[in-house]
Chains A and B, each alone.
Chain A
Amino acid sequence: MKNEEFSDEKLKELLKNSTSSQSFNVPEGYFEELPEKVMNSINVLPDFDKQSAVQPFEVPSNYFEELPFVINDRILSGRKESVSIWKWIFNPTKQIIAALSITIIAGSYFYFSRTKTIEINNSTCTVEEISESPYFESLSDDDLIDFLASQQDENTIDEYDQYLLDNDIDISQLEKSL
């Protein structure tokens, strides 16, 4: 309240020298013409309380006479299409799609079922690595003997003799121990 009183006082002080009571003006004859203008505007408004709605849209001639036939045709054609497998099969678009699908399926089958050749790089490994290998342990003695027998040639026999001589091993003792 104090603020309002203060504002009022200040406003009176500011306006005390003003001679005009109205700062805004209107065109000449404005208020004489206003009622008529307002009434004209109101008269063009539709009466929203009455069912006086005018239909401003039109349709092509005979539209509503033909529409039931169009709908009936669509229903019948939809039904025929659903039972006609031959129509589906002989449809060019469907044939192209089917041919593409078969090509893709056949191509995929050949691609994924082809025989693969895997090259293994030769690499050297030490005797220790071989002896510690789990594969080596799984081999039976018979298999090893058979393998060594098949690999024997003149050179390897000479190497065995030389090994026995170098290590002073008596072959008869060796046979006994076996």
Chain B
Amino acid sequence: MTEEFSDQELLEKFREEGSRHYAFNLLVKKYQQRLYWHIRRIVIDHDDSNDIIQNVFIKVWKALDGFRNDSQLYTWLYRIATNESITFLNSKKKRFTISFDDVEHELSDHLASDPLFTGDKIQLKLQQAILTLPPQQRLVFNMKYFDGLKYEQIAEILNTSVGGLKANYHHAVKKIEKYILGS
């Protein structure tokens, strides 16, 4: 049922006072899974992801009136989700006065004992390898490999060039291969 409405139709319904809540509910249902998995792969923990996805949609609710069709809706949503996730990791780093690398190390340890992580040894190794990547390479790899986004779409979300993203992905793949083969 949700998939019957295009982004444009959802936006039009949202702008009408009578169907505002209904349209937003459909929007949440349409994008919740894609955004949740995107966030989860960045922050790893389900509870943290749950907090962030809720905050993302609250922000979207507040800002959707001002959304103009300069960019596509899903790239705008992805951008908000990405920013919220990075902000969360940065605040975690400040709260516990630990470096970004230490946060990744902690997340890597958390993975192995997380009951909501059901991957096998290879999947665990892959996620741990991804956590060793610099933030930008990590984002690009996740969006390209897991979400199947095109470079042009990622470029719009991260506000960067396609050439730079290709280099980021290439380096990320090489580092992951090296990590998996070396361990």
Write the residues of chain A forming the contact surface with B, with a CB cutoff of 8 angstroms: 41, 44-46, 48, 51, 53-60, 63-64, 67-68, 70-72, 74-75, 78
A98 to B146, CA, bound (A): 52
Contacts known (A67-B53, A71-B28); A56 close to B33, Cβ less than 8 A: no
Chain B residues lying within 8 Å of A45, measured Cβ to Cβ, are 177, 180-181
- Cβ contact within 8 Å between A58 and B180: no
Closest CB in chain B relative to A3 CB, distance in Å: 36
The total of chain B residues at the interface (CB under 8 A) is: 36
Give the contacting residue for B116; candidates A60, A67, A70; CB below 8 A: A60
Chain A residues lying within 8 Å of B25, measured Cβ to Cβ, are 68, 72
Other than A57-B117, A72-B24, give 11 A-B pairs with Cβ distance below 8 A. Answer: A46-B122, A46-B176, A53-B146, A56-B117, A56-B120, A57-B118, A64-B32, A67-B53, A68-B32, A70-B54, A71-B54
Write the residues of chain B forming the contact surface with A, with a CB cutoff of 8 angstroms: 21, 24-25, 28-29, 32-33, 36-37, 40-41, 46, 50, 53-54, 57-58, 61, 116-120, 122-124, 126-127, 145-146, 148, 173, 176-177, 180-181
B contact patch SS = helix
A59 to B118, CA, bound (A): 10
- Cβ contact within 8 Å between A41 and B181: yes
